[in-house]
Chains A and B, each alone.
Chain A
Amino acid sequence: MIQKINDERLKRKNLENTRILFIVQTAGIIGILGYELVTKGMDEMTGNPLWFLLILTGIVSAYLSMSISVDHESDEKSPKKGLLISLAASSVIAIGFGAAVTLTADLNTGILVGAIVFICFIVPYFYLYYLRRKQED
């Protein structure tokens, strides 16, 4: 029968083992995708579900790293000021993207692309804002 591990040392060891497993798995996924890229080309590689898994893992990893980065920030930044600057920068980039797309496609597509770019930028910025606010408490 499997028993729940209560020993803190073994729990830690388990986590360390999981880290090794993660490295092996990631190396495997990159290897498989690399092989697909070389033998079948870029489209086949991005069509593979493993590609989606790799991207998803990358996004989750980036979000998890953000909390570490916020804790590591040496100077106390004002969360609100940071968010406002980020929002302004995101707006400029989104408008730029939207305008560039409008030149080659129609206005609706331009607005859609601009909105998507804007959302993609502001979600992590709001998360950073939330983390910095939490850190202030």
Chain B
Amino acid sequence: MKNNVKIARVQMDMTQAQLAEQTGVTRQTISLIEKGKYNPTLKLCLAICDAVHKSLDELFWIDKEERTDDTKNK
């Protein structure tokens, strides 16, 4: 699913490795989340939100129409 993790991470001037270290996962997992190829658990979502100082809404909320388009494209 689409998300704004990459934008928030770049805004914080962090690398994928740094975000991964802070959230306790591997860099590959962060990469897959940013590409929208892996849906993290709520626990990991919150850890990412803490690391980049953003709310859950700002990082992961997607409008209903966009969500439907995303599902159709898969």
Contacts and interface: CB of A to CB of B under 8 A. Distances in A.
Interface of A: 6-10
B60 to A, nearest CB: 16
A9 B29 contact: yes
A8 B26 contact: no
Given A8-B40, A10-B26, 17 more contacts: A6-B24, A6-B25, A7-B24, A7-B25, A7-B26, A7-B29, A8-B25, A8-B29, A8-B41, A8-B43, A8-B44, A9-B25, A9-B26, A9-B28, A9-B29, A9-B38, A10-B29
A7 B41 CA distance: 11
Interface residues of B, number: 11
B56 interface: no
B32 interface: yes
Secondary structure call for the A interface: helix
B32 A9 contact: yes
A11 to B, nearest CB: 10
A92 to B, nearest CB: 48
Contacts of A6: 24-25
A25 to B, nearest CB: 28
Contacts of A7: 24-26, 29
Interface string B17-57: 00000001110110010000010110110000000000000
Nearest 4 Cβ contacts at the A-B interface: A7-B25, A9-B29, A7-B26, A6-B24
A7 B20 CA distance: 9
Interface in B1-30: 24-26, 28-29
Nearest to A5: B26
A9 B38 CA distance: 8
B20 to A, nearest CB: 9
A93 to B, nearest CB: 45
Nearest to B33: A9
